[in-house]
Structure 1
């Protein structure tokens, strides 16, 4: 550790302590009160704590709904860097002057977030682009925060208010997430994959990246003209926009488009945008009809007419609305392999059919290894109570985010660790749900999700393979029928000859043994007291005179036994009244 880093760490530690005390962070989290104060504290402390808040926003097993909602609204509040520092970093990364790559480069950024800031520029080819530049020194600053946080964990654990959160797991998740978000080459790869998956949809516009100008700290992509989705959310529902449509109708269209596209990302692509908040979703409105995309759908009809085969082909033009939805910021993306998608579809279909056993099996498949503390009976009991809440409830009335939050809580209560990709998906669901509620409160995400889950399930369902498995299972069962009488006789012979052993698993074994131990102790004490009373009686009767040593020993034994009986009686009544308070 150099002398230069020691003061910066000390100053940062002092700042963290001051902010925590100013907003009473630990007290508010433990008492689940004043979530806005905690959110302000995290925003003031910068990117590391913003990321921690985002991670905690899906921990509905630990945080009240108000806290989770407040953490979902965490916004970056970072001042932009001076242009000289930006220019120096870009030229060092590209290893050439700005003028060798860009015809123009705006000195003032169009946006500044926790990790970097974005500048509008024009390539020498004339193409307008956005250059995302990492804040100089941001990685070192984040590393200071994480190291301080890691060293403080043993101290924080001694504070009762901090025990509500598993700090080690949060720190590990924050490290993984920030490692990806501070590597712009990873974001470049994310953007390329998202572009490949979604660029064919004419209602979406996805920026292309330029790999030849991208480095770990610089990202160059298409400039997308448009406004944040917030511009629509602030308009009056009855106002007219875009081809004289009411704002309310446009919101409904965009809400449906976003949900359907997100379900397509999850179940078809297995690659989804994990941070779909309004700041990352823009609207591009076409100036006139001529600039709108005009997609055509090829149709074909084949048949026989008058004994002659014929084939007809034609194109139908699709009329699109006068706007496109733009996705931005690909630093936080989620990936679901085919196995995870299949498990997720199984869970949603099982919930739809209200089959507790199948819901349980699907949830267990979405979780990691089951620890020794896992109790399957208790797990299914909790799940049964959860599923019963949705009996006979219309699909559109089911709150998908609430359902997922309850499932996570059941898993954590039963010592099950949810797959981290599924946890990221739930975070994305929660963020998108907030956007959808603002656009169209009547739109049910569960109602839109279910057809995609069913479609994916049926697409993976191979009738021939299932018939083959069923045939083999039936054949094995028939073959086993002939061996059942022999095996039954063998079991009876084993019991008849006494060569059997029965293993019994007793639930709550520790509590039962503790009670048995107390019972045995009481019996032993009773026997000892009876022996003391009996021996004292013999001493008193056998003593030659009242004042002799033997007589006094007998009286002492009586007194000792009497006092012990009083103490036992007092303890019995004390325990009795305490347990019935």
Structure 2
């Protein structure tokens, strides 16, 4: 159990200076190590980097413990990414998955009375003062309603909104600085989307409505559609305000409770597959999904058949139908290695591509949909991907006559829509969950039926405009644009039974 001092909300400037100061210290430590390793034998480099990761992970954890707020959520996210984050960070940041020290009971009582208009004794037959859990935004207590129903009460921390919004500003500033100093690590699209979505988690009325929506969407059996039943539980919403949420109590096992998982005979492989299936349904069938599937947001029911219990729908994303179809197309195109369909889906979802290097754009989906592996194997995969990235930078530099810094800035994807950022976050968290539970999941096999179902439903509707069944590949020339318009015209006149077109480009480099 980690010991965290009570939050001090007042000194925002001091909080900001501590964050920036630590970011600079860690950055300079790694940059110095990059220079040192040039003079060290290869056999000793791994140990040198491990010591640096251990040193900086301790520094980061110490500040997270001191500051709490958004940084706890950030640390929790990193602790789930065993597939890409060094072992030292995973091992130390795992502590953040545990419940934080509780907030004062008087503060909890005051918030409940202010939000619900009644005292605890007037609303509950029994209220357990010891919290079930304390997280970065809220604290959860167990209680019994006057009618005998068992519930949990989620109570938002006093003053947390100010702190979260300030932390988002600080995180944005750090990402901007990193992108300037190290162009190949530009995470601005990710932090921008996080800044837009994270504040929504502070409104529990919104979370309540999201919970009801997902529960309705997953509550019906899809067996007759060939998708199989989505085997999950979601607590019923009893009551909500902006800062208080009352839910049905469900007794379950935490995913990081290895002893209980073994004692109850839980099939970890099946649990992760069921969770993945539930998210495939949310994304492709419903177009409405929880964007925060970290281990703390799941329980496993104790009674057989053991099923995942889905919690915390504060960060939830709604997809337009066009985006949902485009994601399904992208998924199947990646599965089939179909570059044409892939580029078409990218264009439909508003992904701006570097058309001069389409093979580099294919790497985006290779990363998104790669199979999960246990943590040790994932680290090996990550190293291979990093080495490939370095080779790509050199290739781009040579082919496009760029400086080294310009080549590092080169990205096959020029802009990511916000929907894709959250979608990628979900896949990354699920991948990290698989690594932490030491199971192997092939996303393509589990998610494919859901993507196919959505596209089949779209095709069966017989679109009114024929350009909906002609792949919208990015046009490289006027000839391609004119050809597409001609095919649409012929289709609208019912003069086409089927088409297949291929345009081949010859790229020449003139001698200077």
Quote how far apart the aligned CAs of 1:133 are: 0.7
Q: 1:84 to 1:377 in 2, by over 3 A?
A: same
Q: Secondary structure at the match of 1:276?
A: coil
1:353: which partner in 2?
Answer: 336
2 CA distance for matches of 1:427 and 1:474? 39
Q: Could you say which residue in structure 1 is the equivalent of 2:405?
A: none
Say yes or no: does 1:81 pair with 2:103.
yes
TM-score (structure 1 length as normaliser): 0.60
- TM superposition shift of 1:440: 6.7
CA 1:459–1:90 in 2, change beyond 3 Å: closer, same or farther? same
CA distance in 2, matches of 1:332, 1:140: 18
Q: What SS does structure 2 have at the residue aligned with 1:425?
A: helix
1:40 aligns with 2:61: yes
User: What is the Cα deviation at residue 457 of structure 1?
Assistant: 1.3
Distance of aligned partners of 1:206 and 1:26 in 2 relative to their CA distance in 1, 3 Å threshold: farther
Show the 5 A alignment for 1:95-114: 95-114=117-136
Secondary structure of the structure 1 residue equivalent to 2:109? helix
Q: Work out whether 1:367 is the aligned partner of 2:350.
A: yes
Q: In structure 2, how many angstroms separate the alpha carbons of the residues matched to 1:439 and 1:147?
A: 34
User: Partner of 2:161 in structure 1?
Assistant: 139
Rate the CA distance shift 1:126–1:350 in 2: closer, same or farther, 3 A.
same
* CA contact 1:46–1:78 (8 Å) conserved in 2: no
C-alpha displacement of 1:445: 1.5
Q: Distance in 2 between matches of 1:215 and 1:19?
A: 37
Give matches, 1:134-213, under 5 Å: 134-146=156-168, 157=177, 161=181, 166=186, 172-200=192-220, 203-211=231-239
Q: Residue 160 and residue 205 in structure 1: after superposition, are their counterparts in 2 closer, same or farther (change >3 A)?
A: closer
Judging changes above 3 Å, is the alpha-carbon distance between structure 1 residues 425 and 41 closer, same or farther for their aligned structure 2 residues?
farther
| TM-score, L = length of structure 2 | 0.67
- Give the secondary-structure state (helix, strand or coil) at the position aligned to 1:421: helix
Partner of 2:447: 449
Matched residue, 1:277: 294
Separation in structure 1 between the aligned mates of residue 410 and residue 76 of structure 2, nearest angstrom: 18
Residues 233 and 438, structure 1, Cα contact 8 Å, conserved in 2:
no
After TM superposition, give the deviation of residue 92 of structure 1 in Å. 1.4
**CA–CA distance in 1 between the matches of 2:493 and 2:438?**
54
Match of 1:322 in 2: 305
Corresponding residue number in structure 2 for 1:377: 356
Structure 2 unaligned regions, length at least 5: 1-7, 35-48, 222-229, 393-408, 468-486, 497-506
Aligned to 1:8: 11
Give me the CA root mean square deviation: 4.6
Contact kept? 1:204, 1:324, Cα under 8 Å: yes
The alignment status of 1:251 with 2:268, answered yes or no, reads: yes
Task: Please state whether the residue corresponding to 2:85 is helix, strand or coil.
Answer: helix
Give the equivalent residue in structure 2 for 1:331.
Answer: 314
Equivalent residues of 2:271, 2:307 under 8 A apart: no
**Aligned partners of 1:436, 1:430: CA distance in 2, in Å?**
10
Quick check: 11-20 or 100-109, which moved more? 11-20
Structure 1 portions without partners, runs of 5+: 287-320, 391-395, 480-505, 516-581
Match of 2:85 among 38, 63, 66: 66
Q: Secondary structure at the match of 1:66?
A: coil
Separation in structure 1 between the aligned mates of residue 118 and residue 302 of structure 2, nearest angstrom: 37
Question: Aligned equivalents of 2:186 and 2:488: distance in 1?
Answer: 49
Distance 2:508 2:208 in 1: 54
Counterpart pick for 2:283 among 266, 269, 283: 266
**Is the Cα contact below 8 Å between 1:26 and 1:162 reproduced in 2?**
no
Q: What SS does structure 1 have at the residue aligned with 2:237?
A: coil
Q: Which SS does the other structure have where 1:377 is aligned?
A: coil
Q: Which one has more relative contact order, counting CA pairs under 8 Å at least 6 apart?
A: 2
Whole-Å separation in 1 of the counterparts to 2:340 and 2:362? 9
- For 1:223, the equivalent position in structure 2 comes to 249
Which residue matches 1:340?
A: 323
Matches of 1:475 and 1:338 in 2, distance apart? 23
Structural mapping, 1:447-526, within 5 Å: 447-462=445-460, 464-465=462-463, 473=490
Hey, what's the Cα distance between the residues in 1 that align with 2:100 and 2:492?
68
2:4 corresponds in structure 1 to: none
Aligned with 1:376: secondary structure?
coil
Partner of 2:423: 425
Q: Assess, with a 3 A threshold, how the Cα gap between structure 1 residues 43 and 414 changes in structure 2: closer, same or farther.
A: same
CA offset digits 1:59-89 (Å, max 9, x no partner): x9xx993369958966476431111111112
Residue 130 of structure 1: which of 145, 149, 152 is its match?
Answer: 152
Please say which structure displays the higher CA radius of gyration. Answer: 1
Q: Distance in 2 between matches of 1:449 and 1:257?
A: 11
Q: 1:269 to 1:77 in 2, by over 3 A?
A: same
Mapped partners of 1:200, 1:430: distance in 2 = 27
Cα distance in 2 for partners of 1:343, 1:28 equals 40
SS at match of 1:24: helix
Contact 2:327 2:345 in 1 (8 A): yes
The Cα offsets for residues 170-204 of structure 1, whole Å up to 9 and x where unpaired, read as 65434323311111111111111122122346842
Cα distance change of structure 1 residues 345 and 83 upon mapping to structure 2, 3 Å threshold = same
